[in-house]
Structure 1
C-alpha cells in the first residue's frame, strides 16, 4: 500500500459530532471546540442530526462563536451511530477526522496535537485519546472496575503504537483517523456490519470494527496519553442495570468482531456450528456455576456482567445463523485483495 499519496482533502482537522436528542449536553461539547488553540491549523465541525426531536441543533448554533472555523449541520434519517458518522464524513473537507460524541469535552489543544501526530507518523492511520470520566453525581462503588466499559481511563500503559494481535483497538469517543482511510472504509465493497448505538438501544462494536478494518488495510494504530478529553457520563448510565445491558450489547457484537480478530491473527474462522457450540457452552457454564445467584440482582457482582455478556454473545451468534458463512467469506476475500 502506498501511504504517501493523500486524497484530495485539504490539510486540517474535521470534527464529526453525531447527536440524538443532545440539547442538555451539546453546549459544553461545542464550547470545547470553540476554545481550540489551533495555531492557524484549519478545522471545522460537522454536526449530524440523527433524528433529534429536541433543540439540539438550535442550542449548538447559538453557542458556536468561531469566525475562523465553520459549524455545518447535516441530517441523517437512518438511526445508528455508524450511519450518522458516515453521513458526517461525507461532508468533511479536511485530511484528518476526529469523531467526538455529544458528551465529550476535548482539550483546548486537540486540533494542534492531532494534526502534528499524523504529520510526524506517516504509518499511523488512527489515533486514540486518554479519556477522563466527568461524573456530576456520586460515583458508583463499582465504577473504577468497569471504567473502560465507558471508554474512560488509561487504555494502554503508555503512548505508542498499539501492538500485539490481541490489542487492535481504540475507543470511538475521540477516535481520530485519516480522511482517506475512513472514506475508503465507508465506500468499500465490504460494508461495516456493526452500526453502534441506535437512539436508546445499547449496541456497540462499531469503533472496534473500524480499528480492525484499519489494521487489515496495513495501517498502525496509535494511543496518545497526552491527548485528552473528558467524557461526561449521565446518571442514567451509571446504574448497574445499564452496565449489564451494555455488556449484553458488547456480547451481541462479539461474533462479528471475532471474524476480524482471527483474520488479524492469521487463524481460520470457525464454522457457524463450532462458534455457536462455543457460545452455548460458555453460557451454560456460567448458568451452572452461578445458578440461583443469577436470579438476585446484586449490584457490583461480576458474575452478572459475565452472564449478560455471554447471553448477548449467544443471541448475537444465533442471529447470524443464516448469514455467518457468507459474512466470513466476504471479509476474508475483501482483505485478501488489499494486502
Structure 2
C-alpha cells in the first residue's frame, strides 16, 4: 500500500490555457502539516508546452514540501494518462482534478477525512459549480450532469445502488483503483475510439459497485468547473460531448445489465427468479434490438452456467468471479 496521504492527479491535453486557475487553486489547499501530499500532472501528448508552463507556475506558488511531478503519456486518451499517473502516485488517497477544475481550499482536507472515516466506500464525489467566460445558454440547465456540474444526488450520503459518480473531483484509493484493473484492463479501448476513453470514470464506478463497494456523495465538497464558450455550443454538446457518451454506452450498458442482475437480486431469490422468468419473454417480444440485447444480457448474468454471449459480457462475468 502507498503512503497514507493524498496525490492530486491532473490529466491534460494541450491545457496550457486552462491550467493557471486549476494549479493556483490546488496550491491554495489548507491541509494540516501532518498530511503529506503531492501533485502529478499527466501530460497526454500535449504540444502547447503545458508541462513546462505548469512546472513554472507551481514553482512560483512556492508551496512548501509539496512535490509537483510531470509524467508524459504518449498514448492519446484520458484513460491512459490517468492510469499512468495512478501507478506513479506515492500516496494511497487520490483526487482526480480535471485541468479545468478549481478545487475549493478545503477539498483535500475534507477528502482525507472522508476516506479515513469510511473504509467501506470505494469512491467519493463532490459538487461542481459551473463557471464560464461569457454567459450560459438557456439549455445548459438541462445538461448539468453532462458537463459534470451540479449535485450528484439529492443530498450528502451514499449513492443509490446503480448510480455512478463522474470523474471531476473524484476521490478514491490507489490500491483499489489498481485492483479494479489488475486482471481485466478497461474494455473501453475495444471500441477503437479515443473519445470514449473519457468514460473511464463511469466504468471504474461500475466495477466498484459490482465488487461490492459503495459510492458516496458529499455536497460540501465543492469545485468550480470552468467551461469556455466554445464548449457551450449545441455543436460541441451534441457532436462531441453527447456522442462520446452514446458511443461509450455500447460497452457501459453491458455493465448496467450485470449490475441489474447481481445487485438487484442480492439476497433476494424471489427477485432473481422473477427476472429469470421475465428476461426470456422480454427478449422474445422486444420491439427493438437494444431491448432484446438488454434482456439477453440480463439472462446471461443471471444464469450460473455459461451460455453464448458477446465478448464484453463474457469478460465482465469473468471479472465478477475474479
Same-fold call, TM > 0.5? yes
Q: Secondary structure at the match of 1:189?
A: coil
Give deviations 1:22-44, integer Å, cap 9, x for gaps: 11011111111111100121110
Q: Is the 8 A contact 2:77 2:194 kept in 1?
A: no
d(CA) in 2 for partners of 1:330 and 1:249?
22
Q: Secondary structure at the match of 1:218?
A: coil
Among candidates 180, 185, 205, match of residue 185 of structure 1: 180
State the Cα distance separating 1:164 from its structure 2 match: 3.3
Change (3 A) 1:54 1:182: same
1:60 matched to 2:57? The reply is: no
Partner of 2:100: 103
Q: Is the 8 A contact 1:160 1:224 kept in 2?
A: yes
State the Cα distance separating 1:224 from its structure 2 match: 0.8
Unpaired runs of 5+ residues, structure 2, are: 263-274, 293-308
d(CA) in 1 for partners of 2:149 and 2:104?
15
Partner of 1:336: 321
d(CA) in 1 for partners of 2:78 and 2:287?
28
1:278 matched to 2:289? The reply is: yes
Q: TM-score, normalised by structure 1?
A: 0.78
1:33 matched to 2:33? The reply is: no
Aligned CA-pair RMSD: 2.6
Q: Secondary structure at the match of 1:79?
A: coil
Give deviations 1:270-294, integer Å, cap 9, x for gaps: 99x999943499xxxxxxxxxxxxx
Partner of 2:77: 80
Q: Is the 8 A contact 1:130 1:227 kept in 2?
A: yes
State the Cα distance separating 1:207 from its structure 2 match: 0.9
Q: Is the 8 A contact 1:79 1:199 kept in 2?
A: no
Give deviations 1:107-154, integer Å, cap 9, x for gaps: 111111000001111111100010110112111111111121100111
State the Cα distance separating 1:199 from its structure 2 match: 11
Mean Cα displacement is larger for which, 120-129 or 199-208? 199-208
Whichever structure has more helix as a proportion of its residues is 2
d(CA) in 1 for partners of 2:50 and 2:172?
26
Q: Is the 8 A contact 2:77 2:195 kept in 1?
A: no
Runs of 4+ in 1 over 3 A off after TM superposition: 198-204, 267-271, 273-277
Among candidates 1, 6, 13, match of residue 13 of structure 1: 6
How many pairs does the alignment contain?
A: 284
Partner of 1:226: 220
Q: Is the 8 A contact 1:203 1:250 kept in 2?
A: no
State the Cα distance separating 1:160 from its structure 2 match: 0.5
Q: Is the 8 A contact 2:188 2:196 kept in 1?
A: no
Partner of 1:266: 261
